[in-house]
């Protein structure tokens, strides 16, 4: 190094020893520590004295040479430092002990800005594994976000998380993957799609063959409601990337089913549903419980909190009654039906809008010639009314009766199990709920094809039993009734806190 460094500093051979010492010291001081802006260690020498001054040749510097050979020095962080970066200005998260700065990336995140932001300041290893089907490819794009790693003395999980449970769940997931339970049976989903299309055709044939009197009209509406509900469950499969091994084909079929068969935008569903899976029943992070507090008081903790704050947006002690008016009957025809158009236009989701338009054009051209415009509009809203009841009862039976709270940053398994419950398996329950009667397994393995839920359920039950976690499964009608019971209970808790605390 001596000759090369002397030449780069402008020093001739035979320079004096003091200059050599200054050069070596300067070189050591100029070794750059590792950071995202300085991806490699560089060795630079300070400028030397003017030419013509004789200096002796420099010997190699063993300290600088050893440092350069070791490569970049990683930056280390503690959990406290990571936790402090969870606000709006700066967001960090941890995956496999690596620390990533997602502050600018959130807006470009394909799954939406909110779902990734919900894990800011936390370990996101398990949700990262759960949501992505091509993790190797995703990690390549994450390299530019990497800013360091956890210090060696730091544990791999925050203190709020159960290490033993997390380790065993990761072993379970590895076992599930080896068993092939994450691979879809394409014949199953093809037949499922065909049965939807057959129901759709049967609805039109009912009017065409039997006329437009009351009974054929009602049967057509029921069949179309089944089409919409079952298409809703199928788009859910494609949206979760659980059918094909590549995201491209899942996204394409997702657009077709939710856009052309249902008239809704895929981006809207992604925006809401992935947040729900990331932090189920966590207030201000799960949009599925956004009806708290303006329409309902949900969960024991939040209801008491609302009562102590003396807040009353609705007569919550009667919410188990007015749920039948503003819940199942109204969600789709009075809210979703209109909000989806606002969503795609406000966010300029023109591809989604184009897919949606194909549904409304097809539906209009199919039924207006048979019914006329007024009866057509009546049919459309009756279908949305029936579908809304079906959708709300099925989707809320697994979550509303469960634990609802603020985000406590618990481990993946505990987060999902305290917010979900199952409904007993049967051929009807599986079909009626789109296999969402296996809500626990679906939340633990969101990309698992639904036809494999019943296969992994015994393994999940064993894990829960070992760690003393309640694994709830109940009859279908009991699950429906529990929605009302929980609303009544939380409404009474709110009233007691409102009047007496």
Q: Tell whether 62 is covered by a domain.
A: no
> CA-to-CA distance for 450 and 156, rounded, in angstroms?
31
pLDDT above 70 covers what percent of the chain? Answer: 86
Q: Tell whether 71 is covered by a domain.
A: no
Residue 92 shares a structural domain with residue 172: no
Residue 45 · residue 9 · CB < 8 Å: yes
Q: Tell whether 51 is covered by a domain.
A: no
> CA-to-CA distance for 91 and 383, rounded, in angstroms?
44
Residue 352 shares a structural domain with residue 395: yes
Is the pLDDT assigned to residue 69 strictly greater than 50? no
Residue 336 shares a structural domain with residue 474: yes
Q: Tell whether 70 is covered by a domain.
A: no
Q: Tell whether 138 is covered by a domain.
A: yes
CA distances from 392 to 62, 219, 367 (A): 71, 22, 27
Q: Which residues pair with 474 in a beta bridge?
A: 423
Strand, coil or helix: what is 282? strand
> CA-to-CA distance for 374 and 254, rounded, in angstroms?
31
Does 469 sit behind a cis peptide bond, omega within 30 degrees of 0 on the bond before it? no
Where among 137, 159, 181 does a domain terminate? 159
Choice between 135 and 193, residue whose per-residue pLDDT is larger: 193
> CA-to-CA distance for 283 and 474, rounded, in angstroms?
25
Residue 465 shares a structural domain with residue 426: yes
Tokens at 315, concatenated: 């007569």
Q: How many CB atoms lie within 10 A of CB 427?
A: 7
Where among 130, 159, 188 does a domain terminate? 159
Q: Tell whether 55 is covered by a domain.
A: no
Number of folded domains that form the chain: 2
Q: What pLDDT does 486 receive?
A: 98
Quick: pLDDT tens for 155-172. Answer: 998 999 999 999 999 999
Residue 318 · residue 370 · CB < 8 Å: no
Q: Tell whether 9 is covered by a domain.
A: no
Q: What pLDDT does 61 receive?
A: 53
Question: CATH number for the domain including 104?
Answer: 3.10.120.10
> CA-to-CA distance for 174 and 406, rounded, in angstroms?
30
Tokens at 88, concatenated: 């709006």
Where in the sequence is the domain holding 315, given as residue range(s)?
Answer: 161-500
**Among candidate residues 236, 287, 164, 289, the one with its CA nearest the CA of residue 439:** 236
Residue 230 shares a structural domain with residue 283: yes
Is the pLDDT assigned to residue 38 strictly greater than 60? no
Tokens at 261, concatenated: 């068969």
Q: Is 399 exposed, middle or buried (0-12, 13-18, 19+ CB in 10 A)?
A: buried
Q: Maximum Cα–Cα distance for the chain, whole Å?
A: 110
Rounded to the nearest angstrom, the gap between the alpha carbon of residue 97 and the centroid of all alpha carbons in its chain is 20
The mean predicted confidence, pLDDT, of the chain is 88
Torsion of CA 441, 447, 452, 454, to 10 degrees: 10
Residue 147 shares a structural domain with residue 182: no
Tokens at 63, concatenated: 């300290």
Is the pLDDT assigned to residue 83 strictly greater than 60? yes
Is the pLDDT assigned to residue 265 strictly greater than 90? yes
Is the pLDDT assigned to residue 54 strictly greater than 80? no
Residue 152 shares a structural domain with residue 165: no
Strand, coil or helix: what is 498? helix
> CA-to-CA distance for 439 and 445, rounded, in angstroms?
10
Tokens at 71, concatenated: 């490569």
Residue 151 · residue 405 · CB < 8 Å: no
Residue 436: CA atoms inside 13 Å, Cβ hemisphere, count? 24
Residue 150 shares a structural domain with residue 180: no
Residue 337 · residue 384 · CB < 8 Å: yes
Q: Which residues pair with 123 in a beta bridge?
A: 94
Q: Which residues have CB under 8 Å from 255's CB, separation 6+?
A: 266, 351, 352, 355
Task: Please state the three-class secondary structure of 210-269 as a single string.
Answer: HCCCHHHHHHHHHHHHHHHHHHHHHHHHHHCCCCCCCHHHHHHHHHHHHHHHCCCCHHHH
Residue 212 shares a structural domain with residue 144: no
Residue 167 shares a structural domain with residue 210: yes
Is the pLDDT assigned to residue 200 strictly greater than 70? yes
pTM, whole model, 2 decimals? 0.84
Residue 317 shares a structural domain with residue 458: yes
Residue 370 shares a structural domain with residue 465: yes
Least confident of 60-64, 148-152, 170-174, 393-397: 60-64
Q: Tell whether 348 is covered by a domain.
A: yes
Torsion of CA 368, 373, 378, 384, to 10 degrees: 60
Where among 159, 178, 193 does a domain terminate? 159
* Band of pLDDT at residue 72, cut at 50, 70 and 90: low
Helix boundaries (H) for 372-452: 373-396, 412-417, 427-433, 439-444
How much is the average pLDDT of 192-209? Answer: 98
Q: How many CB atoms lie within 10 A of CB 250?
A: 21
Q: What pLDDT does 47 receive?
A: 41
How much is the average pLDDT of 87-91? Answer: 90
Strand, coil or helix: what is 147? strand
Q: What pLDDT does 137 receive?
A: 84
């Amino acid at each position: 190094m001596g000759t090369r460094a002397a030449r780069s500093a402008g020093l001739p051979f035979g320079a004096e020893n003091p200059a050599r010492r200054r050069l070596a010291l300067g070189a050591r001081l100029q070794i750059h520590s590792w950071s995202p802006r300085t991806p490699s260690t560089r060795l630079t020498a300070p400028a030397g004295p003017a030419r013509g001054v004789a200096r002796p040749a420099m010997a190699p510097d063993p300290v600088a040479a050893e440092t350069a050979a070791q490569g970049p020095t990683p930056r280390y962080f503690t959990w406290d430092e990571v936790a402090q970066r969870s606000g709006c200005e700066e967001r960090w998260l941890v995956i496999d002990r690596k620390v990533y700065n997602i502050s600018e990336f959130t807006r470009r995140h394909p799954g939406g800005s909110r779902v990734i932001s919900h894990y800011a300041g936390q370990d996101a290893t398990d949700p990262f594994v759960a949501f992505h089907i091509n993790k190797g490819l995703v990690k390549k794009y994450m390299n530019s976000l990497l800013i360091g790693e956890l210090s060696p003395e730091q544990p791999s999980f925050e203190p709020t998380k159960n290490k033993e449970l997390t380790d065993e769940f990761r072993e379970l997931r590895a076992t599930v993957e080896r068993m092939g339970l994450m691979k879809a049976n394409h014949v199953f989903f093809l037949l499922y799609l065909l049965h939807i299309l057959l129901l759709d055709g049967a609805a039109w044939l009912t009017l065409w063959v039997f006329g437009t009197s009351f009974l054929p009209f009602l049967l057509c509406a029921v069949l179309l409601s089944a089409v919409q509900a079952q298409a809703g469950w199928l788009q859910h499969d494609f949206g979760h990337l659980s059918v094909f091994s590549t995201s491209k084909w899942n996204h394409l079929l997702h657009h077709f089913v939710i856009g052309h068969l249902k008239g809704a935008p895929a981006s809207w569903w992604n925006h809401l549903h992935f947040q729900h899976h990331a932090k189920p029943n966590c207030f201000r992070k799960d949009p599925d419980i956004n009806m708290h507090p303006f329409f309902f008081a949900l969960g024991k903790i939040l209801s008491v909190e609302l009562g102590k704050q003396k807040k009353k947006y609705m007569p919550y002690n009667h919410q188990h009654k007015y749920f039948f008016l503003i819940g199942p009957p109204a969600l789709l025809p009075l809210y979703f039906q209109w909000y989806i158009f606002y969503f795609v236009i406000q966010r300029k989701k023109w591809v989604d809008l184009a897919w949606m338009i194909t549904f409304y054009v097809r539906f209009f051209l199919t039924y207006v010639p048979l019914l006329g415009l007024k009866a057509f509009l009546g049919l459309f809203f009756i279908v949305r009314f029936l579908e809304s009841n079906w959708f709300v009862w099925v989707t809320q039976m697994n979550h509303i009766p469960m634990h609802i709270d603020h985000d406590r940053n618990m481990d993946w398994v505990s987060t999902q199990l305290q917010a979900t419950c199952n409904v007993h398996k049967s051929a009807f329950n599986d079909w009626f709920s789109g296999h969402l009667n296996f809500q626990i397994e679906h939340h633990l393995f969101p990309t698992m094809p639904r036809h494999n839920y019943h296969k992994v359920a015994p393994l999940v039950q064993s894990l829960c039993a070992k760690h003393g976690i309640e694994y709830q499964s109940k009859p279908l009608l009991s699950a429906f009734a529990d929605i009302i019971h929980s609303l009544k209970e939380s409404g009474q808790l709110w009233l007691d806190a409102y009047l007496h605390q």
